[in-house]
Amino acid sequence: MSTNEIIILLLIGLSAGMIAGALGVGGAIIIVPALVFFFHMPQHTAQGTSLAILLFPVGILAFLNYYRNGYVNFKVALIVMIAFVIGGYFGSLLSVNLPEKPLRILFGGLMLIAGIKMILEK
């Protein structure tokens, strides 16, 4: 791996971490498109790699800052966490069996819809 590639990967991680920590969004919103664009990864590989990146460190230090300031509802977090694990399993089964083009359209469409909804809501 070249020095430039390592620098780009570090910038992707830093950007994803900062946006996730600041806005509470999943780092995959940054990581997946960046891996597809900069490294020409297939959509499936970018999504799988993103999950590997986020598996443990998904905001541990950002979480601690929110926790220290009293901004964590553990009851809600636990319920969603359990459902998220189950949903992640079934979602990945669906995703790995979809061809790349429809998967990329679904991913991009979801980001587009979410962005438009956030911008237009009062």
What ranges do the domains of the chain cover?
3-120
What pLDDT is attached to residue 88? 84
Report the b/e string of 34-58 with b at 16+ CB within 10 A: bbbeeeebebbebbbbbeebbeeee
Residue that wins the pLDDT comparison between 60 and 12: 12
pLDDT score, position 11: 92
Residues 6+ apart with CB under 8 A from 71: none
* Cβ atoms 111, 29 nearer than 8 A: yes
> Residues 31, 46: contact at Cβ < 8 Å?
yes
Tokens representing 112 are: 């587009």
